[in-house]
Amino acid sequence: MNLSLICKAVAVTLTTTAFFSPVWAATAPGDSALVQIEELVVSGNAAAVPVPGSTKINAPAVSLQDPGSLADIGGILPSVRVATNSRGDSHLMIRGAPERHSQAFLDGIPLNLPWDERVDLETIPITGVGRLEGRRGLPSLLDGPGVLAGSVHILPPQLAGLTKHTQMSLAAGEHGLARASLTHQNEAGSWNLLGAGSVQKRNAWPLPEGGQPRQNSDLEQYSVLLRGSRPVAGTGRLNLLATGWSGEKGVPAEMHLGDDARFWRYPVRKRALLGASVTLPVGQWDLSSLMAADFYAQEVDPRGPDNWDAPLTEGDDYEKGFDRTGHGQIGLTRWLGANSRISFQGNVRYTQHREILTYGGSTNSYAQWMTGLVLEAEHHFAKAWGVRAGAGWDHAATPESGDKDQAESFHAPAVNLRLSRQLNAISELYVSGSRRSRFPSLRELYSGALGRFVPNPDLRPEQQDLLEVGFSAQESQWHVTGAAFLQYLEDGIEKESVPGPERQFMRVNRTAIRVPGLEISGGWRMVHNLQFTGQHTIMAARVKVAGSYDQPAEDRPDYLSHLGLNWQGYTGPGALVEASITGPRWSADATDTDDGLTRLPAGVHWNMRLSWRWELGSNQAQPRELEAHLRLDNVFDQWTNYQVGLPEPGRVISGGLKFSM
C-alpha cells in the first residue's frame, strides 16, 4: 500500500473523529442506557412488516468478503448477479431481471440515480455497513415505485451490547490493489453515533488466463459516513445520516469491437447524501417520515488513451452531468388489535439532471416528478393463516426534456396480494400475486449516451405481473427457503441494434417477456465452527414474437448458483471456500448481423480465504481482536464474460489485517 493512500485514509479518519470528538468529550459516563445501533435505520416505511422472500446477511458474513464496495458482496444474495456493462458500471440483477427493476437502499434512502434508475455498485462504499437484506420479487408495495424484481437494503452495524466499538482494516494485493477503512461507534448521552472513512485503489484488474493488466480498469475512491440517532417523544426516534464519496475510474473497452469500442474514463464521480427520518406515536397511529437530498456529479472523457492527457479544446466530446434530487416519504400505521394493521404511505421524488455533451457547449436540463401512494392492510386469522393486500397509484411526469420532444406523463395502478399458512413453529407456505409498472427513466427517454444510443421519447412504461408460491423453514442449526415464480412483463424495454455503420442502439418496448423460474437457498451449521450455505436459481426468459415465447431475452442467465463452506472459530484458524456459477445467456453484440445477440457459455469462479484470529487481552467490557487474512479470488483463473467482450477479472491475490476493540 503506498504512503499517499495511507495518508489520505488517515485524513478521512481525522475528519470523522473531529466531527464527533466535542460530543464525546462532553458526555459523562453513565449518561444513558445502551441504545442498539440497529434502530438507527433512516427509513420512512409505514410499518416494519415481516418480508417473505428475503435473506439477511449478517456482519460476520459481510466481513468475510473483504469488500471495497457493494459490488463485492451483492452476489452472495440468493438469485442475485452483479454484472459490469460497457460503461464500466456494476449493476444489481435479481432473478435475471434488468438492473432498472431493482433498487438499492442505504438506511432507507434510495441509491438508484433517478436520471438512469440504476446505480454503479462499485461506487457504493461498504464503510460503516453492518448487514445486508436482499428481497426478491414484490412482497410489499412499500419499497416504492419502480421496484419490480427486488431490492437490497444496506443496514448499519450493531453495538452488540458494547457502549463503543472501533474497527480498522488494511488490505493490499496485486496490481496496486489497496484498501483502508476506519469505523467508530460511540454513545454520547442519548445519542448513538457512528463515523467511518475509507479509501480504495487499484491500478488495474488482471485479465483471466494470464494475469495481464486489463486496459483502463483502474479505480480510486474516498468516502466518509456519519450517522446519529436518538429517542424522541418517548417511544419515537430521530435518525440523521450524512455520507459522501469521490473518485475516478476507467472503463475497460469491449474487446471484440477493436477500434470501435468505447474508450471512456470517469475523471470525476462525486456523490453526497443527506437524510433525516423520525418515527412518532400520534394518538393510536404510528407516524414515520423520511426526507433526503442527493447530490451527484460526473464527467465522462470519451477521447481515448491517446487524448486523455491532452488539453481540452472547445467542441471536444466531454460529458458533464449534474444531478439534484429530493426524496420525501411519509407513512401512517394503525394496529387493530394484535392480529391486524392498516398502513398508508406516500412517496415523492423530484430530480433535475443537467448535462453538457461537448467542452464549452450548451447545457441541457431534464427534470422528473415521481409520486406514489400505497394502502396496505394485513390480518392474521384462524391462528395459522394470514393475508396481506396492498393497492397503490404511481405517477411520473417530465416537465423538462432538454432539446428533445417531451414524453407524455405516465400513471399506473399497483396491486399486491399474499396469503400465508403457518404449518408449524418453524415453517410457512405462501402464495402471492402482484402487478406494478416501471416508468422509463430520463436517460432511456432522452439521452444519446455520446452517440451510442438513439433517444426514444415514445417509450411506454413496463408493466409486470408476478405470481409466486414459496416456503420457508428454520431451525437452530439450519434454514431453507424456496419459491416458484412466473413473471410476465408487457412492453419490456430492451435495447436493439439500429441498422447503419454507426453501430448504435435504441431502447424499444418489446411485445412481452415471460420468465418462469425456481429458486432455493439455505444454510446448515454442520458442527459448531463449520457452516454450509447454498443457493440455486433456474430461469427460462423468453421474448414473445409472432404470438410465441421463443426468442431469448438479453442478459438473463439460464441459472445462477452460489455455494460456500466456512470454518471459523472465535480464535485461531479460519477458512472459506466458495463458488459462484453463472449459467449460459444471450448478450447484446453489435457485430452480430442476425439478431444482435451472441450466446455466452456458463462460467464458474472459485474464491478462497484463509485467516487467523487472535484475542488481545481479556477485557470483557472492551474485547480486542486482530485478524490476518489471505484471499484468492477466481482461484483457477477462469475466463467468464459479464457481456460480450467484457471479461470478469482473473485471479487476484490479496491480504490484510483487521483490528477491532
Q: How far apart are CA 434 and CA 485, in angstroms?
A: 11
**272 or 500, which is more confident:** 272
Residue type at position 110: P
| Cell numbers describing residue 16 | 470523522
For the ranges 43-47, 222-226, 389-393, the lowest mean pLDDT is seen at 43-47
Q: pLDDT at position 299, please?
A: 96
CB 372 within 8 A of CB 144: yes
Residues 6+ apart with CB under 8 A from 50: none
Q: How far apart are CA 250 and CA 451, in angstroms?
A: 19
The torsion angles phi and psi of 446, rounded to 5 degrees, stand at -120, -20
Residues 6+ apart with CB under 8 A from 392: 141, 372, 373, 374, 375, 413, 414, 415, 436
The torsion angles phi and psi of 330, rounded to 5 degrees, stand at -140, 140
Mean pLDDT of the chain: 87
Q: pLDDT at position 33, please?
A: 24
pLDDT bin (cut points 50, 70, 90) of residue 52 is low
Q: What is the pLDDT of residues 425-440, one digit of tens each?
A: 899 999 999 999 999 9
pLDDT at 70 over 70: yes
Other Cβ atoms closer than 10 A to 520: 18
Q: What is the pLDDT of residues 446-465, one digit of tens each?
A: 987 666 788 889 999 999 99
Residue type at position 455: P
CB 370 within 8 A of CB 346: no
CATH number attached to the domain at 3-148+157-306+315-359+372-660: 2.40.170.20
- 298-319 as b/e: b if 16+ CB within 10 A: bbbbbbbeeeeeeeeeeebbbb
DSSP one-letter string for 342-387: EEEEEEEEEEEEEEEEETT---EEEEEEEEEEEEEEEEEETTTEEE
**232 or 160, which is more confident:** 232
CB 462 within 8 A of CB 493: yes
Cell 462460467: give the residue. Answer: 603
Q: What is the pLDDT of residues 286-327, one digit of tens each?
A: 999 999 999 999 999 999 999 999 999 999 999 999 999 999
pLDDT bin (cut points 50, 70, 90) of residue 240 is very high
Q: Where are the domains of the chain?
A: 3-148+157-306+315-359+372-660
Distance separating the N- and C-terminal Cα atoms of the chain: 23
pLDDT at 10 over 70: no
Q: pLDDT at position 2, please?
A: 43
- Distance from CA of residue 91 to its chain's centroid? 8
What is the mean predicted confidence (pLDDT) over 351-363? 94
Other Cβ atoms closer than 10 A to 563: 16
β-pairing verdict for 150-155 and 102-106: parallel
Q: pLDDT at position 58, please?
A: 85
What is the mean predicted confidence (pLDDT) over 564-593? 91
